[in-house]
């Protein structure tokens, strides 16, 4: 079955482009929801960094640091240094959006401390994933140029590691959000109606990881079809 018509690769149009558009839509939802609920100040007035510190202390993680980093929504937890990093738009903000994001990142710190299996597995395969993302495409291209199916499929196998990483990321992110929402509720940090807005922010963020997985799988299928089609033509 041909995958090119007059030099045009239609597999990109059919498989990858819809996934890319889904990713763009997901990013727009994150931005719009965060912007909307960044205007809603929590009734108790605590800032996101204060909430993060409180949750960490409550879970016996007083040694975990909280740092401010530049940018917007560049928040993350660094397991190597055991540091929660909150962006300019989150750190010091009393909004229900910022509090939700901070609590989510603290959720990753708790996962790390509790040896949450999917997070442990994801951290373990990061070196392999980095190698795969760097070498997969050069190997595939070299395989096509030199007519080597071994090289091409080795590249596909490495790219598959990237898709596996995205797959493992899903339960990690969803679990961190569930931990965040449960804590914000049980500790009375946010009221019930405030939690609804926070949930929308975290749900939109989770969708970006779903989109990333779909994009990786679509690209993986595309590469399999192209390399397989090239072998049949030969």
Which residues are identified as catalytic?
A: 105
| Long-range contact pairs involving 13-16 (C-beta distance under 8 Å, separation at least 24) | 15/218, 15/219, 15/221, 15/222, 16/215, 16/218, 16/219, 16/222
Q: At what angle do helices 117-145 and 149-186 cross, to 10 degrees?
A: 150
Is-contact 106 48, C-beta < 8 A?
Answer: no
- The span from the CA of 191 to the CA of 168, in Å, is 32
Q: Identify the CA nearest to 97 among candidates 53, 50, 186, 31.
A: 31
Residue 192 vs residues 33, 52, 93, 105, 174: alpha-carbon distances, Å: 18, 19, 20, 21, 20
Pairing label, strands 83-87, 76-78: antiparallel
Q: Identify the CA nearest to 103 among candidates 118, 119, 90, 112.
A: 90
């Amino acid at each position: 079955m041909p995958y090119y018509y007059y030099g045009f690769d239609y597999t990109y149009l059919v498989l990858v482009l819809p996934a890319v558009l889904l990713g763009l839509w997901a990013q727009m939802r994150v931005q719009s929801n965060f912007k909307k609920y960044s205007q809603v100040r929590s009734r108790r007035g605590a800032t996101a960094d204060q909430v993060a510190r409180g949750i960490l202390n409550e879970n016996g993680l007083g040694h975990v640091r909280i740092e401010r980093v530049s940018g917007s929504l560049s928040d993350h937890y660094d397991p190597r240094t055991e540091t929660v990093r909150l962006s300019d738009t989150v750190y010091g903000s009393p909004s229900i959006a910022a509090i939700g994001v901070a609590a989510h990142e603290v959720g990753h710190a708790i996962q790390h401390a509790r040896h949450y299996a999917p997070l442990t597995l994801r951290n373990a395969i990061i070196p392999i994933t980095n190698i795969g993302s760097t070498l997969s495409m050069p190997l595939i291209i070299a395989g096509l140029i030199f007519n080597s199916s071994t090289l091409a499929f080795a590249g596909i196998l490495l790219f598959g590691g990237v898709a596996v990483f995205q797959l493992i990321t899903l339960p990690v992110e969803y679990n961190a959000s569930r931990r965040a929402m449960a804590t914000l509720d049980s500790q009375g940090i946010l009221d019930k109606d405030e939690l609804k807005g926070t949930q929308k922010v975290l749900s939109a963020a989770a969708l970006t990881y779903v989109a990333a997985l779909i994009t990786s799988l679509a690209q993986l299928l595309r590469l399999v079809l192209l390399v397989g089609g090239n072998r049949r033509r030969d």
